[in-house]
Chain A
Amino acid sequence: MPDVGRATLLVTLGLSLYATGAGAWAARAGRRRLADSAGNALLTALGTSAIAAGVLLVALVRHDFSFTYVADHTSTRLPTGYTISAFWGGQEGSLLLWLLVLSGYSAAAVLLNRRRAPDIAAWSVPVLGGVMTFFALLLVVVASPFATQAPPAEGAGLNPSLQNPYMLAHPPLLYLGYVGLTIPFAFAMGALLAKRTDERWIVATRRWTLVAWTALGIGQLLGSHWAYVEVGWGGFYAWDPVENAALMPWIAATAFLHSVMIQEKRGMLRIWNVLLVVLAFSLSLFGTFLTRSGVVNSIHSFTQSSIGPWFLGFICLVVAFSLALVFARLPLLRSRTRLESLVSREAAFLYNNLLLVAFCLTVLWGVAFPMLSELVRGESRTLGQPYYNFFLRAFGLPLLLLMGIGPLIAWRRASARALSRTFLWPAGVALATGAALVAAGAGSSMPGLVAYTFAAFVMASIVLEFVRGTRAAGSVMTLVGRNRRRYGGYVVHAAIVLLAIGVAGSAYDTTAEGRLRPGQTLETGAWTATYRSLSQERAANALELRARVDLFRDGKPAGTIFPGKNRYFAEAQTSNEMAIHTDWLRAEDVDVIADQINTDGSIYFRVVVKPLVNLIWVAGLVFLLGSLVAMWPDAREQRRLAARYALASA
């Protein structure tokens, strides 16, 4: 079995190398059959990497501890679901997942575009092949999941914090996102290499970008929820380097999805768009490097390894190659149109882009700072939460405001009279909301108050857009059907507003903590938590200690929850199992954490009341809905594009 795995990886490496070399030669010489052959190599690589993944999966499910990877990441006591999720729980498995997902994306992109845009697709094949070669090489030379050993009687098990249902979906979704950003990068580079700077590379890749962006967004939200329920500190985002690693490419892709519309509608920002694609892809590689190299201190760094220099070298190569290519093609990329007015929708998109990129680079600086300080001064210094929170407010609040302003302004230019007419209602709603919040006592946090006021403005502008649009189009279905991307985008904006409200809610968190004996209580705000008793239960892979805690709101019983700890046998580790009571009516959570369980039965508890936190998870569903609307194929547009390219090649 391990030999089959190793052989398939070797064949995958050979195929990737062939796709790179033969693909580049074919594109340069204009030889169609050789280009098809190179494309076929990528299609075949999907098959071979799928077999390699299948071999590892079978070894995991069969608890074949002769595979070092299986012994290091599973045990016979591990439930089957988590045994499967161990595939991406370790470095070698997650690199194999990268390769598998990349070969899937590459095969689909080649199949769909080799006839539609043969010149660009031909040059994209060697780029995709080059990226695949890197990952296949890592798996063959540095981090093979098929290394073997004399099988031990029992495996080491899986890190307890990874034994959570969210881990079944969170990492694969992040990988779908990270890897998916390779496709727009490969096609952008393909277009530049082919010296074709028309819009075909955008048409070929915008849906892929949306898919990758959505997967990355949902993956991050699932990760936040995992951190919230599993890590046991009651927070959902801690500006951890690995969390930031997923956030940065998502922000860059968000900027690209906005600015690409300017290129499609006005033929502007061509250089900027290519640079954004390069940035997003480089950051996705950087994200994988951060997660897998163990170079930063993070609760998510489950591995310490030697792949760091390889990744760093590859990232440098990608950045240098891309920038050199963009520089060489600058004359082809210059746009012939200019911004007509600084008060127009395209100008709002531009401001949005500048803020997003500035925020992205700020986060990048925060993540890179410990590494740079260690390199320069010999001591690692980290930038903490205040640094990130400052810039989140500095860039996030204007971005929130722009989300409301953008849809209200016309393309090209807007007069003061038209602006005052369209802004009247949203501005009125925002001011009324702000005043109501101050009256309700929400003025204790100025950033929170501003965020809620802006959120009201954005929501009002979205509602107004739908109402006015529906009046003009006749029905909401016609309205959305005729412009899925715009109205899907507005639904995504609504999701971001919900997210902002949920995040801003943390400014109003209240906490109580203390050591309790059975019968004693803790109070915070309207909530009272009474510790009743402690029990323990032996599960398949852990000893589960649970405290029974009764909750009361305004003196009335609200429910019973069971915070505690799990002591894992195989892993010899203890995890904090926070208990959450959700009040859906108020979108509020009460988190009870048993920080320290003492031998005399007393427990040091923390009770955190988190208003509006559940809107963050609701935002995930709305985000997914909006993304699906935006990426759903538009038959009219496809007919128009087909006619355009048929005419062009007639």
Chain B
Amino acid sequence: MTTALVVAAALAVAAVLLVAAPFLREPRDGDDVLDRRDALDERRLELSEERDRALLALRELEFDHRTGKISDDDYRVLVGEYRRRAAAALRALEPKAARREKVDVQH
């Protein structure tokens, strides 16, 4: 029983130390902020996902066309559309555009 109590106490102390570890070191400035992302970061993430989706779609269109699953006509229409989407997302992700959007977001 005594051994069990000692083991249990040691376990509890070890658990408390591990759980308290993030508070045992001196914090740097701003170290305690969980997520620094703002509305602009959110927008950039959204645009990045949109860009990747459009680029992936282009890759798949190309592959489907080469394997004969999509007709030449459909390919031409869709490839133009997804190129436009990818280009729009890429343009919006450029630093200048991002700054412009930041101003829009703040207003």
- Answer whether A and B are interacting partners: yes
Interface residues of A (CB under 8 A from B): 1, 3-4, 7-8, 10-11, 14-15, 18, 26-27, 30-37, 40-41, 43-44, 47-48, 51, 118-119, 122, 198-199, 264-267, 408-415, 417-418, 421-422, 465, 468-469, 471-472, 640, 644-645, 647-650
- CB A373 to nearest CB in B, in angstroms, measures 47
CA–CA, A472 and B64, complex, Å:
10
Chain B residues contacting A647 (CB-CB under 8 Å) are 44, 48, 93
Chain B residues contacting A37 (CB-CB under 8 Å) are 19-23
| B71 in contact with A3 (CB, 8 Å) | no
CA–CA, A15 and B5, complex, Å:
18
Classify chain B's interface size: 35 or more
Cβ of B103 within 8 Å of any chain A Cβ, yes or no, is no
| B69 in contact with A7 (CB, 8 Å) | no
* A-B contact sample (18 more), CB < 8 A, given A37-B22, A414-B69: A4-B7, A7-B11, A8-B8, A8-B11, A11-B15, A31-B32, A32-B34, A33-B23, A33-B27, A37-B21, A41-B19, A47-B15, A411-B64, A413-B78, A471-B67, A472-B63, A472-B66, A648-B44
Over the window 41-68 of chain B, the binary record of Cβ atoms lying under 8 Å from chain A Cβ atoms (1 yes, 0 no) is 1101110111011001100110110111
| A418 in contact with B35 (CB, 8 Å) | no
Count the A-B residue pairs with Cβ separation under 8 angstroms: how many?
Answer: 151
Please name the 5 residue pairs, one residue from A and one from B, whose CB atoms are nearest each other, closest first: A3-B4, A7-B8, A648-B45, A36-B22, A410-B69
Give the residue name and chain of the B residue nearest to A29 (CB). Answer: B34
Chain B residues contacting A411 (CB-CB under 8 Å) are 57, 60-61, 64
Interface residues of B (CB under 8 A from A): 1, 4-5, 7-8, 11-12, 14-15, 18-23, 27, 31-37, 41-42, 44-46, 48-50, 52-53, 56-57, 60-61, 63-64, 66-71, 73-74, 78, 93
Chain A residues contacting B22 (CB-CB under 8 Å) are 32-34, 36-37, 40
CA–CA, A14 and B74, complex, Å:
60
CA–CA, A631 and B7, complex, Å:
41
CA–CA, A410 and B4, complex, Å:
65
| A409 in contact with B69 (CB, 8 Å) | yes
Known A-B contacts A7-B7, A119-B34, A122-B34; A418 and B49 likewise in contact (beta carbons under 8 Å): no
CA–CA, A10 and B23, complex, Å:
24
Give the residue name and chain of the B residue nearest to A266 (CB). Answer: B53
CA–CA, A381 and B56, complex, Å:
52
| B45 in contact with A198 (CB, 8 Å) | yes
| Residue among A122, A408, A418, A469 having the largest count of chain B Cβ atoms under 10 Å | A418
Give the residue name and chain of the A residue nearest to B4 (CB). Answer: A3
| B70 in contact with A410 (CB, 8 Å) | yes
Instruction: Name B34's contact: one of A18, A31, A198 (CB within 8 Å).
Output: A31
- CB A337 to nearest CB in B, in angstroms, measures 9
CA–CA, A409 and B37, complex, Å:
40
Chain B residues contacting A264 (CB-CB under 8 Å) are 53
